[in-house]
């Protein structure tokens, strides 16, 4: 019997001292995989530890819509047995035995999928999406489905009929959205890694609000098989983690064409994980703290960008201020977004008042086609700016996280305007299809994190991953943990 870092609770055994169990809960996914292959922890022990943390704490947090305890334990038992009988541990998948959480907009066979719509409670998915198949092939154990805003429409996770998701750093505040449940789960130490999706900032925003790494890959990097994205290429799967290396390694296992994909990219020449150790030349880095038509970001977010810029300069990179105006994008983006709500096929009476209003803005087929064309023209202009620099640094959101329920009494039109003004730095790069990554940049006066995003040239995740890893080494953040979950 191999020595174990953590023993399962029985009538005669207890977890090891709490500080060690907590350290394990907040350990990176790649490190957990290493510990498993070295025999210091088993998949069953690790999975049970996480399930017990979810049972103990998630009533306060609201990060999970469905906890797949029975199937996760069964999978963990099988993988633990495989380890006992397998002499070639190097042949095991990269993330063998590591637990993961899945956003509840993603289809996992035989698990509930309700898209944050209370009328769809009890709906069971009939198939695994292509990304889920790749997750299983990589050796992950699926813990369950994390909360999302209704239809993934909003940057806070408060769907009607469900408890709101809360921020582990301050429970009065939102973890963001629409991947808010995934972000909250990783930040609270319920898993080391969680699947999200991003069509307008839905990975980067929650990562910023919860002090995490969140990567939106390039358009076509990860398949939407067997379905389409209904958003003219705005959306992509992506990941929330505590470290850049975990995000990069996930991108390696998740990438790739699946038959019939409308968008696809050739595989990179080297792995994204290897990019985290890449020695970078002096890069040309643009940065901004102001975006028209809104203007300057909140002081904390401005300072976050300036601090990162100072770090970059100390690392030998060249930085220059930039300015962009996204006003021409707002109306066409709104039309395409509202058309996606209409295309979901949910009767308006089953939607929240906010989503009913969004539905009502969808317009005609001709207006949709015009909006797509307008976004494509805007994308050409924005991507053209990257001829002058290698990476762009912006605030991820224009101000820190809002309180839970802060905008629930506003009219839908006013709430929508507040949303646009908050998330403004994110959607332009869904329109262009460029890769972007959030990295933690500090805490506001309420103790809630905020972040900055690094935006790369089209098809160039490698550079922003390498740069994010360089910043992470210079000023590590992954050891930070919210007190009430430690």
Give catalytic residue positions: 103, 178, 202
Collapse the DSSP code of 95 into the 3-class scheme (helix H, G, I; strand E, B; otherwise coil) and give the result: coil
Residue 360's alpha-carbon distances to 164, 214, 273, 383, in angstroms, are: 25, 32, 44, 31
DSSP of 312-356, one letter per residue? HHHTT-EEEE--EE-HHHHHHHHHHHHHHHHHT---GGGS-HHHH
Sign of CA dihedral 197, 200, 206, 208: positive
Q: In what order do the strands lie in the sheet with 295-296?
A: 295-296, 290-292, 324-325
What is the residue whose two structure tokens read 């409670």?
121
Specify whether the CB–CB gap between 223 and 258 falls below 8 A: yes
Structure tokens at 37: 């292959």
d(CA 426, CA 351): 25
Of all helices (H) and strands (E), which one includes residue 195? strand 193-198
Neighbours of 399 (CB within 10 A): 16
d(CA 187, CA 144): 16
Rounded to 5 degrees, φ, ψ at 459 are 65, 30
d(CA 258, CA 269): 19
Of all helices (H) and strands (E), which one includes residue 296? strand 295-296
Pairing of strands 99-103, 141-146: parallel
**Ordered alpha helix ranges (H), 97-167:** 130-137
């Amino acid at each position: 019997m191999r020595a174990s870092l953590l023993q399962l609770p029985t009538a005669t055994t207890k977890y090891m001292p709490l500080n060690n169990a907590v350290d394990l809960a907040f350990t990176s996914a790649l490190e957990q995989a290493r510990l498993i292959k070295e025999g210091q922890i088993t998949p069953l022990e690790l999975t049970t530890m996480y399930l017990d943390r979810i049972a103990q704490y998630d009533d306060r947090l609201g990060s999970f819509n469905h906890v797949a305890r029975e199937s996760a334990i069964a999978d963990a038992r099988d993988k633990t047995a495989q380890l006992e009988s397998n002499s070639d541990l190097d042949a095991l998948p990269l993330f063998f035995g590591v637990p993961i959480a899945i956003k509840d907009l993603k289809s996992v066979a035989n698990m509930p999928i309700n898209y944050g719509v209370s009328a769809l409670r009890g709906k069971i998915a009939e198939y695994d999406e292509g990304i889920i198949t790749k997750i299983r092939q990589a050796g992950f154990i699926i813990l369950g489905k994390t909360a999302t805003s209704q239809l993934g429409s909003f940057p806070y996770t408060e769907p009607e009929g469900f408890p709101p998701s809360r921020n582990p750093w301050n429970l009065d505040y939102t973890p963001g959205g629409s991947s808010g449940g995934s972000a909250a789960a990783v930040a609270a130490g319920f898993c080391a890694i969680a699947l999200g999706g991003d069509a307008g900032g839905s990975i980067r925003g929650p990562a910023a609000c919860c002090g995490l790494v969140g990567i939106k890959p390039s358009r076509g990097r990860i398949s939407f098989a067997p379905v389409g994205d209904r958003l003219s290429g705005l959306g992509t799967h992506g990941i929330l983690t505590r470290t850049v290396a975990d995000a990069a390694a996930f991108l390696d296992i998740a990438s790739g064409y699946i038959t019939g994909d409308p968008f696809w990219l050739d595989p990179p020449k080297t792995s994204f994980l290897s990019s985290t150790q890449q020695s970078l030349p002096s890069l040309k880095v643009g940065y901004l703290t102001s975006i028209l038509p809104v203007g300057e970001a909140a002081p904390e977010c401005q300072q976050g960008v300036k601090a990162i810029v100072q770090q970059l300069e100390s690392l030998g990179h060249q930085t220059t201020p930039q300015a962009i105006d996204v006003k021409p994008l707002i109306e066409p983006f709104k039309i395409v977004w509202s058309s996606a709500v209409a295309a979901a096929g949910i009767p308006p009476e089953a939607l929240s008042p906010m989503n009913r209003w969004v539905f009502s803005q969808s317009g005609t087929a001709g207006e949709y086609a015009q909006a797509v064309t307008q976004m494509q023209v805007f994308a050409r202009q924005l991507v053209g700016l990257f001829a002058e620099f290698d990476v762009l640094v912006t605030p991820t959101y224009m101000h820190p996280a809002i309180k839970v329920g802060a905008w629930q009494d506003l009219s839908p039109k006013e709430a929508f305007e507040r949303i646009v003004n908050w998330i403004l730095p994110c959607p332009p790069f869904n329109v262009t299809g460029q890769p972007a990554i959030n990295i933690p940049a500090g805490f506001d006066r309420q103790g809630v994190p905020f972040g900055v995003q690094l935006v790369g040239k089209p098809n160039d995740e490698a550079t922003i991953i390498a740069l994010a890893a360089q910043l992470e080494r210079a000023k590590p953040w992954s050891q930070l943990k919210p007190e009430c979950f430690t």
